[in-house]
Structure 1
Amino acid sequence: MPTVLVVEDEPFVREFISGELVAEGYSVIEARDADTAIAVLETREDIHLVFTDIDMPGSMDGLKLAAYVRDRWPPVHIIVTTGKSRPLTIPANALFISKPYRSETVVAAIRTFQSM
């Protein structure tokens, strides 16, 4: 199964979705912010998908992280999420899921990338 990098600053939310994805058979790596996520991406070649919250502290938010991932690691799939309004633009070929989300919705979105 693909490896998913979950980028979320809220520990409860991060642990919840990570646990749900592990239960579905995915390998999951967690990051609390974009800087940590980039460090993971720079050292691992097995990341298939980045699932990132938009609103995070640090040097960049989730939208900037998604754009950076799209530019630097084009094969990596991206799903962005937020509890606020849908952003006007997201990187090409990325998906958006609004919060609160159901784990089944996230899994279904990840599976759409697996069939590509």
Structure 2
Amino acid sequence: MSTLHEQKTVVLVVEDEGLIRIDAVDALSDAGFELLEATCGDQAVAILREREDIDVVFTDVHMPGSIDGLALSKKIRDEWPRIGVIIASGIARLTEGSLPSRTVFFEKPYEHDQIIGAVNCLTGR
């Protein structure tokens, strides 16, 4: 008799500010998710191209490199439409109408419970 193991939700956190990234990774890891990290949109795209098990990308808007969080969310929608996206920013104010489908926006500072709830909502878990 084989036992079924529920696969952990995989979340890619994309944040250039180290302390903010570590804080988010710790909170999401404590909630039982498997975590990956990227420091910019370009690195996130490389990871997305290598991995097929990513369920949600949690990204900041303003980051160094050739792709910011909003452009990253649009790229994800075009190339990996099954992946949910959470965008956070302390500067930009995004409305639901300006976001791609399956994308949620939070203003910084956000509560960890908000992000955990959004991951669960986007993955249906």
Is TM (by shorter chain) over 0.5? yes
Q: Could you list the runs of 5+ residues in structure 1 that have no partner in the other structure?
A: none
Task: Trace 1:34-73 onto structure 2 (pairs within 5 A).
Answer: 34-73=41-80
Shift of 1:84: 1.5
Aligned equivalents of 2:114, 2:94: Cα separation in 1: 19
Q: Could you list the runs of 5+ residues in structure 2 that have no partner in the other structure?
A: 1-7
Q: Name the count of aligned residue pairs.
A: 116
Match of 2:124 in 1: 115
Shift of 1:63: 0.2
What TM-score results when the alignment is normalised by the length of structure 1?
0.95
Task: Trace 1:1-116 onto structure 2 (pairs within 5 A).
Answer: 1-88=8-95, 89-115=98-124
Instruction: Name the % identity.
Output: 39
In the alignment, residue 57 of structure 1 is paired with which amino acid?
P
Q: Which runs of 4+ in 1 moved over 4 A?
A: none
Aligned equivalents of 1:85, 1:29: Cα separation in 2: 24
What TM-score results when the alignment is normalised by the length of structure 2?
0.89
Aligned equivalents of 1:114, 1:75: Cα separation in 2: 9
In the alignment, residue 46 of structure 2 is paired with which amino acid?
A
Shift of 1:82: 0.2
Q: Which has the larger radius of gyration?
A: 2
